[in-house]
């Protein structure tokens, strides 16, 4: 582990050598040097302001869409889930949502307040911060279509207010000011019927349960869908459903999911991702682009 900086005046919880397997939906990952659970945005700004200049910083939501290698993460992991958790209605049809709020909670809150347009968020197994970082989408909806304002923190704890047009946004891609991270956003929705919105959310969650391996440890879709096609269709066409590397297996339920059947390592998952991509390219002539982020050090 890197030498720990001396931190003063913090209100959050700082853990050392924290196993990331406790915090990822794949239940995989080596230790983080430092794992910080901030009390709120101001406390997080204070933590960032005290970090050494060269300290790597990694932001973590619910731990979906993420593979942490078996050697763990050097530097600081900022845990937003359950911490940056303020969610409020502002104005008639707008929500202010902090980065640690789960997407599913945003969908339910909006519906309960008679607002529509956020139902698709119920199908995203992560936090709003993660959804903002990658323009996450589900069931035809995309996060940035409803974003009207953003709040960020920079490397030194400075707070910034940003407009959506300051970012380059595309399918599962977001690029903006370097060295800043999302801590909150304002979402513009439309007035609607609470019962209808809640019924739509229920329908989307039922569809997700029917088509995805929600009862097994996974990280969501592994590959992006190629233009005009589906990664799952290409993988299934190659006969790859059910193949394994150790305890990491391509789901029998949905070919674009890899499941941890018990005790899988990051190395096994990464090897399986390469095997699937190589096979699809060889047999289908399409090079799949990984959607899952791979971070940390190998053993």
Residue from 200, 221, 245, 270 carrying the catalytic annotation: 221
**Range with lowest mean pLDDT among 5-19, 102-116, 151-165, 237-251:** 5-19
- Does residue 187 lie within any of the structural domains? yes
Q: 57-60 and 73-79 as β-strands: parallel, antiparallel, unpaired?
A: parallel
Residues 93 and 72 in one domain: no
Give φ, ψ of 248 to 5 degrees: -95, 125
Active site residue 21: no
pLDDT, mean over the chain: 95
User: What's the alpha-carbon Rg for the chain, to the nearest Å?
Assistant: 19
Residue 83 above 90 pLDDT? yes
CATH number, domain of 42, equals: 3.30.43.10
pLDDT of res. 29: 98
Residue after which a domain boundary falls, among 21, 46, 79: 79
Is the separation of the CB atoms in 180 and 167 below 8 Å? Answer: no
Classify residue 6: in a domain, yes or no: no
Which residue, among 22, 120, 119, has the nearest Cα to 62 in the 3D structure?
22
Q: Check: CB of residue 292 under 8 Å from CB of residue 277.
A: no
Instruction: Answer with the one of 178, 211, 244 that is the final residue of a domain.
Output: 211
173 and 101 both lie in a single domain: yes
Are 206 and 127 members of one domain?
A: yes
Q: Can you tell me which residue has the tokens 């007035």?
A: 191
Q: Is 225 part of any domain?
A: no
Q: Is 172 a catalytic residue?
A: yes
CATH number, position 240: 3.90.78.10
Q: Clarify whether residues 154 and 75 are in a common domain.
A: no
**Average pLDDT, integer, range 205-212:** 90
Same domain for 93 and 199: yes
Question: Across-strand partners of 78?
Answer: 36, 59
Q: Is the dihedral of CA 200, 202, 207, 212 positive or negative?
A: positive
Given 211, 241, 261, the domain boundary residue is 211
Residue linked to tokens 């915090």 = 23
**Domains in the chain: how many in total?**
3
Q: Can you spell out the DSSP letters for 70-114?
A: TT-EEEEEEE-TTTS--EEEETTTEEEEETTSBHHHHHHHHHHTT
- Say whether both 166 and 257 belong to one domain: no
pLDDT confidence tier of residue 4, bands split at 50, 70 and 90: low
| Residue 49: active-site member | no
Tell me whether residue 72 is in a domain: yes
Q: Which residues fall within 8 angstroms of residue 203, CB to CB, at 6 or more apart?
A: none
Residue 280 in any domain: the answer is yes
**Are the C-beta atoms of residues 135 and 173 closer than 8 Å to each other?**
yes
133 and 98, same structural domain?
yes
Extract the tokens encoding 256: 């674009």
Task: Identify the sign of the CA torsion 245, 246, 250, 252.
Answer: positive
Question: What's the CATH number where 192 sits?
Answer: 3.30.465.10
| Token pair for 135 | 């323009």
The reported pLDDT for the residue numbered 2 is: 52
What is the C-alpha to C-alpha distance for residues 294 and 166, in angstroms, rounded to an integer? 26
Q: Are residues 64 and 178 in the same domain?
A: no
Q: Average pLDDT of 198-214?
A: 92
Query: Is 136 found in the same domain as 251?
Result: no
pLDDT score for 91: 87
Query: Are 92 and 159 within one domain?
Result: yes
Question: How do residues 27-81 score in pLDDT, each as one tens digit?
Answer: 999 999 999 999 999 999 999 999 998 899 999 999 999 999 999 999 999 999 9
Global pTM reads 0.90
Q: Which residues contact 63 (CB under 8 A, 6 or more apart)?
A: 20, 23, 24, 25, 26, 81, 219
> Residues 155, 172, 224, 290: which is the catalytic one?
172
Query: What is the average pLDDT across 250-263?
Result: 98
Q: Does one domain contain both 206 and 265?
A: no
Q: Is the pLDDT of residue 238 over 80?
A: yes
Catalytic position from the list 46, 151, 186, 291 = 291
Does 220 reside within a domain? no
Q: Which phi and psi (to 5°) does residue 229 adopt? A: -150, 180
- Domain containing 274 equals 231-295
Q: Tell me if 162 is assigned to some domain.
A: yes
Inside any domain, residue 133 = yes
- Residues 93, 157 share a domain: yes
């Amino acid at each position: 582990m890197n030498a720990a900086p001396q931190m003063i005046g913090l209100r959050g919880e700082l853990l050392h050598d924290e196993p990331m397997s406790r915090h990822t939906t794949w239940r995989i990952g080596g230790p983080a040097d430092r794992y910080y659970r901030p009390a709120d945005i101001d406390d997080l700004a204070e933590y960032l302001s005290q970090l050494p200049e060269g300290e790597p910083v990694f932001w973590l939501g619910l731990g979906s869409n993420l593979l942490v290698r078996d050697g763990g993460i050097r530097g600081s992991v900022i845990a937003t889930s359950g911490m940056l958790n303020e969610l409020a209605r502002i104005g008639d049809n707008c929500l202010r949502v902090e980065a640690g709020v789960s997407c599913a909670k945003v969908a339910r809150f909006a519906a309960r307040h008679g607002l529509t347009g956020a139902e698709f968020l119920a199908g995203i197994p992560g936090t709003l911060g993660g959804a903002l970082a990658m323009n996450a989408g589900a069931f035809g909806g995309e996060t940035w279509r409803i974003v009207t304002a953003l709040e960020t923190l920079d490397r030194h704890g400075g707070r910034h207010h940003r407009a959506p047009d300051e970012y380059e946004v595309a399918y599962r891609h977001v690029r903006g000011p370097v060295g800043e991270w999302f801590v909150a956003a304002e979402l513009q929705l439309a007035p609607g019927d609470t019962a209808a919105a809640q019924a739509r959310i229920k329908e989307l969650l039922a569809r997700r349960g029917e088509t995805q391996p929600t009862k097994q440890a996974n990280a969501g879709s592994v590959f992006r869908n190629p233009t005009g096609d589906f990664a799952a269709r290409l993988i299934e066409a190659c006969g790859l459903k059910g193949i394994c590397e150790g305890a990491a297996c391509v789901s029998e339920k949905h070919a674009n999911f890899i499941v941890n059947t018990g005790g899988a390592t990051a190395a096994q998952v990464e090897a399986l991702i390469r095997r699937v991509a190589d096979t699809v390219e060889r047999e289908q002539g399409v090079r799949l682009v990984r959607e899952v982020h791979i971070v940390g050090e190998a053993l």
